[in-house]
Structure 1
Amino acid sequence: MKTVQLVKYKNQEWSYIGKQQQLKAPLVLVFGNRYALEDDSIYQEIRGLFPDGHIVFGSACAEISSNTVNEESITITAMEFEKSHFLIKTSNVLNKDLDSFKTGNDLIDQFPEYNLKYVFVVSEGSFINGSQLTKGMTTSKSNNLLITGGLCGDDERFEKTLASYNENPKEGELVAIGFYGNSLEITFSIYGGWTPFGPERIVTKSKDNTLYELDGQPALDLYKKYLGDKAKDLPGAALLYPLNVTSANEKQSIVRSILNIDEEENAVILAGDIPENSKVQLMMTNVDNIANASERAARQALEFRKNKPEIALLVSCIGRKLVLDQRVEEELDEVIEVLGSDITISGFYSYGEIAPFHGEIACQLHNQTMTITLISE
């Protein structure tokens, strides 16, 4: 496997990260700031760099490369596979009745099953219900197909997200990359590092990803009470205090970020579904816990591997980035220390991470986690 990485900051030229080499028909992952990806010439510009490349775009809250976390920029990771191959499929949720479950099911259903080992998903992050999307993707195939990826981001603006395949980035787009080949070895892990605190409450009224009542009381009022002075900074402040959700039909609890608030309904809007009768607790963390969680995810992803990984795909959460702030690179440093400096790392900070729980098969939507997928051929 051969790889090349480049980065471009505002009003600057492209610069290589590491060595420069020619690639044949590479997979080209382009993660970048939404404003930068709105440039009408961006697709043709990158097509000029990779004339025979398969170019996948995704807007990000920050980009992850082999040596740093890039912000207000565009980062390219191009990879040439020598023993395996990939297939790319897309879907768009605009101009149609949005059924997130069906969207996920139909997207994965486009892939021929024979020798399909893994799918990496770059999904729009503004309209989709990530919980239903992942359920739909999981039920599409009968075999134990690994699916990881993330929801595109737009920093703390939450205005719109962009994605595309071989065209200028656009709203509402989902892109899935299917990897085929007997020589492929794919492993993954996911870990958070957040700690529940305060009383456990019962969800007494909810619909899909909107939480109306906890213990019979308006959810937004209760949440504001817990935040105290920080309530004036909602909805942004909510990313620092997500919810730990334990559903009756799930073996493990899941973290849910609050993406917005509805003052009129006195409700909070989450990144994924929150079923009625679930148990809910607030969560908090610090820089050390986040860094330690990233290290643990990297070590778990290495477990049981036969071959040394060549590519690491990382998807982390905007909430983690906000906690880390100026120390955001510490999360990546922990991963590099475990995986080694000779592996190519690509990824982005997202509005939601797609992966199974560690040791399970069915993918789910997660928030506030570090997801690591390791690939070799």
Structure 2
Amino acid sequence: MKTVQLKRKNNSDWKYLSEEIKLKEPLVLVFGNRFLLEGETIYEEIRTIFKDGHIVFGSSCGDISSESIDENTITITAIEFEKSNFVIKTTNFLDSGLDSKIDSFLVGKELINQFSEEGLKHVFIVSEGSFINGSQLTKGMNAATNDNLLITGALCGDDARFEKTISSYNENPKPGEIVAIGLYGESLEVTFSINGGWTPFGPERIVTKSKGNILYELDNLLALDLYKKYLGENSKELPGAALLYPLKVKSTNDKQSIVRTILNINEEDNSMILAGDILENSKVQLMMTNVDNIVNAAEIAAINANKYRQNKPQLAILVSCIGRKLVLDQRVEEEVEEVIEVIGNQTTFCGFYSYGEIAPFNGENNCQLHNQTMTVTLISE
């Protein structure tokens, strides 16, 4: 595997972060600020650098490279696979005018069904993050694989604006796009891990009214009113403040609890819109964290992803959550630095801060939508 990394801040020239070498038909991952990716010539510009590249775009809440974490930048990571190969499939529900009636389960199932199963080792997802129901998307992808394929990835981001996310393959980034990268090859070794570092507090409550990803009532009380009560003065900063106080959700159907970010609120009906489904009769609890807990959790994720590997990883794709970034603030570099220290600086690191992380729970095969985690995917061939 050979890799090249470049970065551009605002509209400055591209800066190579690695040795400038020629790659053959590379996978080109382009993560960055949504406004910069909306430039009319962005695809053409990158095409001139990687003439035979397969270019995948994704908007972020901050992009991650081996060198730094930045907000108003675009980071390119180009990868030449020397012993294996990849296939890229896409879908866009906005092209069919389905934005108001999205069947996210069907979208996920049909996307994965496009891949040939023979030799398929891993699928990495770069999904739009504005319209899709990530919980149903992952359930649909699992249904297409009988829970027998490692799928990791992310929902694209737009900093803390939550206005629009964009992604694409071999064209200018656009809304509604989901890109799936399938990796094939006997020599491929892919491992992963996730960890959060959030601590529950306050009483556990029962979801008494919900629909999809909208939470209406807890213990027969209006959910938003109850949430505001716990936040106190911080409730004035909603919906932004909600990123700092997610919910621990334990469904009667699930073995493990999952963290759910509150993306928005509706003052008219006192409801909260979550990043994924929340089922009635689920048990929920508020969560909080601090910088040290988040950094420690990132270190543990790296250790677990690296623990049982036979070969040293050549590429590490890191996906962390916008909520973690807000907590870390000026110390945002620290969680990535911990991962690099564990994995080693001979590995190429890329990734971004997202609206949702896609991966199985540790020790499981079926992928889930997570919030507020550091997800580490390690690849070698």
Give the TM-score of the pair, scaled to structure 1.
0.99
**Structure 2 stretches lacking a partner, 5+ long:** none
Q: Distance in 1 between matches of 2:364 and 2:307?
A: 14
Q: Which runs of structure 1 show a deviation greater than 3 angstroms over 4 or more consecutive aligned residues?
A: none
Q: How many residues are treated as equivalent by the alignment? A: 377
Q: 2:148 aligns with which of 144, 150, 159?
A: 144
Aligned positions of 1:93-104 closer than 5 A: 93-94=93-94, 95-96=97-98, 97-104=101-108
Match of 2:29 in 1: 29
The yes-or-no answer on 1:357 pairing with 2:361 is: yes
- 5 Å-filtered alignment, 1:28-177, equals 28-94=28-94, 95-96=97-98, 97-142=101-146, 144-177=148-181
Structure 1 vs Structure 2 CA RMSD: 0.7
CA distance in 1, matches of 2:41, 2:113: 32
Letter in 1 for 2:81: F
Classify the secondary structure of the residue corresponding to 2:144.
Answer: coil
Tell me the CA shift for residue 199 of structure 1: 0.5
SS of the aligned residue for 1:139 comes to helix
Q: CA deviation at 1:143?
A: 6.3
**Cα offset, 1:59, TM superposition:** 0.2
C-alpha deviation, 1:300, in angstroms:
0.1
CA distance in 2, matches of 1:350, 1:365: 12
Secondary structure (helix, strand or coil) at the match of 1:205 reads: strand
DSSP-derived class of the 1:368 partner: coil
* CA distance in structure 2 between the partners assigned to 1:216 and 1:261 by the alignment: 18
Deviation at 1:142, TM superposition (A): 3.5
* In structure 2, distance between residues paired with 1:235 and 1:92: 28
| 1:316 match | 320
1:292-371 to structure 2, matched below 5 A, reads 292-371=296-375
Identity of aligned residues (%): 71
Deviates more, 1:67-76 or 1:239-248: 67-76
**Alignment-mate amino acid for residue 79 of structure 2:** M
> In 1, Cα distance between the equivalents of 2:147 and 2:331?
41
Q: Deviations over 1:68-109 (max 9, x none)?
A: 112111000000000000000000121124100000000111
**SS, match of residue 57 in structure 2:** strand
Does 2:207 match 1:213?
A: no
Structure 1 Cα separation of the partners of residues 218 and 10 of structure 2: 45
Q: What code does the residue aligned with 1:197 have?
A: F
Secondary structure of 2:11's counterpart equals coil
1:230 aligns with 234
Structure 1 window deviating more from structure 2 (95-104 vs 146-155): it is 95-104
Deviation sequence 1:181-221 (CA, Å, 0-9, x none): 00000000000000000010000000010000000000000
Which runs of no fewer than 5 residues in structure 1 stay unpaired?
none
Aligned-partner Cα distance in 2 for 1:376–1:219: 46
SS at structure 2 position matched to 1:345:
strand
Counterpart mapping for 1:158-307 below 5 A: 158-307=162-311
- In the alignment, residue 304 of structure 2 is paired with which amino acid? Q
